[in-house]
Structure 1
Amino acid sequence: MNRQNSTHEMHPDPAEFIRANMRIATVPSVPEIRLYSAHPASGLWRLAADADEAGEDPAPPYWAYQWAGGLVLARHILDRPETVRGRRVLDLGAGSGLVGIAAAKAGARSVLAAETDRNGVAAIRLNAEFNDVHVSTAAADLTGGAAPDVDLVLVGDLFYAADLASRVTAFLDRCVVQGIDVLVGDPGRAHLPHTRLRLVAEHAVADVGTGSAVALKPSAVFSFG
């Protein structure tokens, strides 16, 4: 094996790796969408090891799974396309791109999916292409910046850790001040800012973040304000 091939195997291209090692599967609770999804033989540790060798934070591959907050938000958008139709949408912490893809399918004018994990960004692009929709990507943490030039921010399952919840809440505050609508999908994670939320809808969805389907559980869509 030559040095070039050895280096390529040690540092796999994320898009090539996803195509080769992940399976396209129908999304639980959202059968209108199919995504590249993890399975026991995916070998996702190789992408994490690549980040570690590059001096980056080897974040867990949350993007490789669908979580209840994103599932309930995607389900709600597809059931009520008027929520996004004709609007400029930001999918914050987009993961696999599920919520943004649902928005694009439902007729959003434009969709920007922001995700900090470069492997997740690669997955979003592949998933959007497979579902025949256009989703722009931002490989960045937008929570420290100004409110974006959009009409609606969609937040699926970003309140599972205290520091992240604090940053997201502050960012959403700036969005609301600028007249941007915000919808949050969440199954009731520990740091959900309940006092800032108004219930919009409830749907029973699978919380499949562990990579295996589980019984349906109630999850909710809230407006933030």
Structure 2
Amino acid sequence: MHGDELSTAARIDFIHAQTAVTTTPLVPEVRLRLAAEAIELWERIEHSSGRSDTPPPFWAFPWAGGQALARHVLDHPELLAGRRVLDLASGSGLVAIAAALAGAADVVASDIDHLAVAVIGLNAAINEVAVTASPADLLDGDGLGAQVVLAGDVFYERPMAARVLPMLARAQARGALVLVGDPGRMYLPRSRFDALADYEVPVVAALEDTAVKRTTVWRMAAEPS
């Protein structure tokens, strides 16, 4: 099963069958449809699709970077209240929903996984907030003119980092506030960011090989001249 090969109704049926409404450990204010078993869900998706290269269902689990960023947004609503916000690689929509709850004027949640787009819509409705979910690949742009660009846990592999960093830099250069949540991923270029806060984030041990990850919220700095 590949999310983009299903009808909208079939995506929603699949999500309902594989998830339950619950909360994330660090952000109990937000309710999400999440899966109980990480590896089992991934295996079911691979089996259904007949492919071994299916990406992990990032939309079904509360990743450390997203939890920390959502917590920071809710604790510091002055960062985005009344502003246009883009949440990049949104997954479950946790960060986007937190932005809406914190008072953002307009929130776009971007994710190229069509199952993620479907679950973002479901999760936004559960939390009674307005979030526009988009499947468009935005990494060649500068953030749709958003005044705040949020990115939770996007530096987990080299190819992704190689596309995300220039996009975030373009957004920062035009004046956007760029915030990143990252739990020490290998490809985060720390020299380009200023640390704002650290969090001890409970995570899915089957995905992270640990029960808690120390996670930092970073603000992108101007590129050195």
Q: Closer, same or farther in 2 for the Cα pair 1:213/1:11, shift >3 Å? A: same
Code of the aligned partner of 1:70: G
| Distance of aligned partners of 1:61 and 1:84 in 2 relative to their CA distance in 1, 3 Å threshold | same
Taking the TM superposition and a 5 Å limit, the aligned residue runs for 1:56-205 are 58-205=54-201
Q: What is the SS of the residue equivalent to 2:90?
A: coil
Q: 1:18 aligns with which of 15, 34, 39?
A: 15
Amino acid corresponding to residue 58 of structure 1 in structure 2: T
Counting matched residue pairs gives: 214
State the AA in 2 paired with 1:205. V
SS of the residue 1:128 aligns to: helix
Query: 1:40 is aligned with what amino acid?
Result: E
> Contact (CA 8 Å) 1:86, 1:107: kept in 2 or not?
yes
Q: Distance in 2 between matches of 1:43 and 1:161?
A: 21
User: Counterparts of 1:18-37 in structure 2 under 5 Å?
Assistant: 18-37=15-34
SS in 1 for 2:197: strand
- SS of the equivalent of 2:86 reads strand
**1:101, distance to aligned residue in structure 2 (A):** 0.4
8 Å CA contact 2:152, 2:182 repeated in 1: yes
CA distance in structure 2 between the partners assigned to 1:148 and 1:71 by the alignment: 24
Counterparts in 2 of 1:146 and 1:154: CA distance versus 1, 3 Å:
closer
TM-score w.r.t. structure 2 length? 0.86
State the 4+ residue runs in structure 1 displaced beyond 6 angstroms: none
Shift of 1:20: 2.7
% identity of equivalent residues:
44
> 1: CA distance between counterparts of 2:206 and 2:177?
31
Q: Deviations over 1:168-195 (max 9, x none)?
A: 0010111112111100111110001111
**TM-fit CA distance, 1:21:** 2.7
CA distance in 2, matches of 1:83, 1:166: 27
C-alpha RMSD over aligned residues: 2.5
Shift of 1:202: 1.3
Alignment of 1:222 onto 2:218? yes
| Residues 59-118 of structure 1, C-alpha deviations (whole Å, 9 max, x = no match) | 221111111100000111111111221110000000000000000011110100000110
Gaps of 5+ in 2: none
Q: TM-score, normalised by structure 1?
A: 0.86
| Runs (5+) with no aligned partner, structure 1 | 1-9
Larger Rg: 1
Deviation at 1:217, TM superposition (A): 3.2
Closer, same or farther in 2 for the Cα pair 1:141/1:51, shift >3 Å?
Answer: farther
Moved more, 144-153 or 192-201: 144-153
Q: Secondary structure of 2:28's partner? A: strand
CA–CA distance in structure 1, aligned partners of residues 205 and 92 of structure 2 = 12
